[in-house]
A and B are shown apart, each in its own frame.
Chain A
């Protein structure tokens, strides 16, 4: 019993990261930033509008929220669709009530199938993020490069055409990327990615990642993670949002402006029995001093002005 000798060789054991996609940087050692109008906290709410095809593949991995039972999985297909029909309306009402403008990650198939949603997003003034073609088409290491380029182009072309928006932000389905995703995104006019959850502030990646900006949009304060994966209830989700706000806000005096990313899934947080808790926690946050509700592009723009 032995391992290949390469298993004990460490060609990338050196200062910094073991790859060239981005440089290492400790959050607490960076120059503080100030948000517009003296705000301490940028509140970035985003939500996803997704289409899960009944015949989606489960390889090379099952996308979060993907189909579960043998075909045809009407149970999960319709549960997801509930979010696009009913759940999102409840979330929009809560956002309206508290004056929150958000980022909407939209599969291009959703824009084609439900143009109503694009019209509503535009009417609200929410920012549209590229979110791939649909939830059956994930980007991943080892995929055909031309296929990935075609997916990115299709997604952005459809979203830009149907919405009239520039679409400068991107969130890959399942937060999955290939080695080339960043480069292809910037070649297609995308400025920032939501796929890298390794920071609490924006940072610019390297040329190997297309010099794309990584926005603090991790998988933590997300109803999918906390409610579906961790099995916490809606009140416990809101407690965690509150604690995240309190801790980040408490750091702003020393470290400058911070971003609280709150990620919502209409078929999860838009459920009837959950929505009142979302109303309560967003109401509480927006009543705090020094908060600025902004979408991803606005936060990044304010950040870059000082970078």
Chain B
């Protein structure tokens, strides 16, 4: 083990090259529905159990399945209502299990990014060949099912190895959602190619708010609005990125969807000169084209200060 993987350099939030998003927007806004498949009886990873109870953990597995059967419809309907295209954090195995959901997302021109094969298979203890197999499976499966070349990655259940980030760059991914050090994209130090960290969120992520912060559904909506207001303000100095990560098995319940809907109505009610509603890939591509080089140079010149 190492004290720091040195994936990125320290880069203070103030004084960076100014980012302006399309139409002069101050916030690039994206929504990332996690469309996940949790196995009822997965093999056991030595470092993490999938379920707290012996298989079949009916309580937990059923709660996850709720998202695909029932909650998905509500999440997608709200996003349709406010014209927000999703960037799907996809457990790749779900392409085989539930092609119905994939078709609905394709019809809406949503982006897919990889979230591993299953949310019950973790990267811990994988050797390099095994981790490559996950990425190659992801790239091939998404291309076959959707015609999209994967651009983004979020490790399954946020389980990583020391080599995960380097492998993403090697395989041509554009962005990683695995790093939470900033509210703007940042060039990442990789062995080959290029990669940026894309602001995702473990703050206004529905699971974190409900299960870690124990927030109420209505409070969740208010938190999203408050985060947006702050990033809009700061985005006048330098463009920010805001992501709402969602799980249909959580936010898609009848007692929870309202807070999210109110927040989406609020954010999309802003002018296009304030907020750019985009996908992860679109934000990454715009950043590479316009700001990657200047930001990388600034990071190098500031040498951490």
How far apart are A27's CB and chain B's nearest CB, in angstroms? 4
B216 touches A240 (CB 8 A): yes
Most buried by B among A16, A179, A197, A231: A197
Enumerate chain A residues within 8 angstroms of B33, measured Cβ to Cβ: none
Cβ B66 vs Cβ A199 within 8 A: yes
A8 to B97, CA, bound (A): 17
Select one of B39, B46, B58 contacting A196, CB under 8 A.
Answer: B58
Chain B residue numbers with a CB within 8 Å of A219 are: 59, 63
B72: nearest residue on chain A (CB-CB)? Answer: A26
- Which residues of A are in contact with B by a Cβ distance under 8 Å? 1-4, 6-8, 10, 12-19, 21, 24-29, 60-61, 140-142, 172, 174-179, 195-200, 218-221, 230-232, 236, 239-241, 243-248, 260
B70 at the A interface (CB under 8 A): yes
- Which residues of chain B from 47 to 69 have a CB within 8 Å of any chain A CB? 52-59, 62-63, 65-66, 68-69
Q: Contact: A3 with B127, CB < 8 Å?
A: yes
Q: Are B39 and A243 in contact (CB under 8 A)?
A: no
CB distance from A113 to the nearest CB of B (A): 27
- Measured in the bound complex, the distance between the Cα atoms of B93 and A15 in whole Å is 10
How far apart are A133's CB and chain B's nearest CB, in angstroms?
Answer: 18
* A195 and B59 contacting across the interface, CB-CB below 8 Å: yes
Q: Does B299 have its Cβ within 8 Å of any Cβ on chain A?
A: no
Can you name 12 extra interface pairs (CB under 8 A) apart from A175-B59, A198-B70?
Answer: A2-B125, A7-B130, A13-B97, A14-B97, A19-B41, A61-B52, A141-B54, A232-B216, A243-B256, A243-B258, A247-B255, A260-B254
A-B contact pairs, 13 of them (CB 8 A): A2-B130, A3-B46, A10-B93, A14-B96, A26-B70, A60-B53, A140-B53, A141-B54, A198-B66, A199-B66, A240-B217, A243-B217, A246-B258
Taken together as a complex, chains A and B put the C-alpha atoms of A13 and B68 apart, in Å, by 16
Evaluate contact between A244 and B253: CB separation under 8 angstroms.
yes
Q: Shortest beta-carbon distance, B221 to chain A, in Å?
A: 11
* Partner among A28, A142, A239, A240 whose Cβ is within 8 Å of the Cβ of B54: A142
Question: B residues bordering A, Cβ < 8 Å?
Answer: 37, 39-41, 43, 45-46, 52-59, 62-63, 65-66, 68-70, 72-74, 93, 96-100, 117-118, 121, 125-127, 130, 133-134, 210, 214, 216-218, 253-258
**CA–CA, A7 and B117, complex, Å:** 11
Min CB distance, B227 to chain A, in Å?
Answer: 21
Q: B69's contact among A4, A19, A26, by CB below 8 Å, is which?
A: A26
| Alpha-carbon distance between A140 and B56 when the two chains are bound, in angstroms | 8
Chain A hits for B53, CB < 8 A: 60-61, 140-141, 176
A248→B63 CA distance, assembly (Å)? 18
Does A247 lie within 8 Å of B62, measured CB to CB? no
Min CB distance B46 to A, Å, is: 8
Residue contact A7 to B43, C-beta cutoff 8 Å: yes
* Distance, CA A19 to CA B55, complexed state (A): 12
B70 touches A27 (CB 8 A): yes
* Residue in A3, A10, A177, A241 whose CB lies within 8 Å of B130: A3
CB distance from B257 to the nearest CB of A (A): 6
B56 close to A179 (CB less than 8 A): yes
Q: Report the bound CA distance from A126 to B256 in whole Å.
A: 30
The verdict on A176 contacting B258 (CB below 8 Å), with A7-B45, A14-B96 known, is: no
> Looking across the interface, which residue of chain B has its beta carbon closest to that of A182?
B58
Q: How far is the CB of B216 from chain A (nearest CB, A)?
A: 5
Q: Whole-angstrom distance from the CB of A239 to the nearest CB of chain B?
A: 6
Cβ A239 vs Cβ B218 within 8 A: yes
Q: A2 touching B126 by the CB < 8 A rule?
A: yes
- Closest Cβ of chain A to B90, distance in Å, is 14
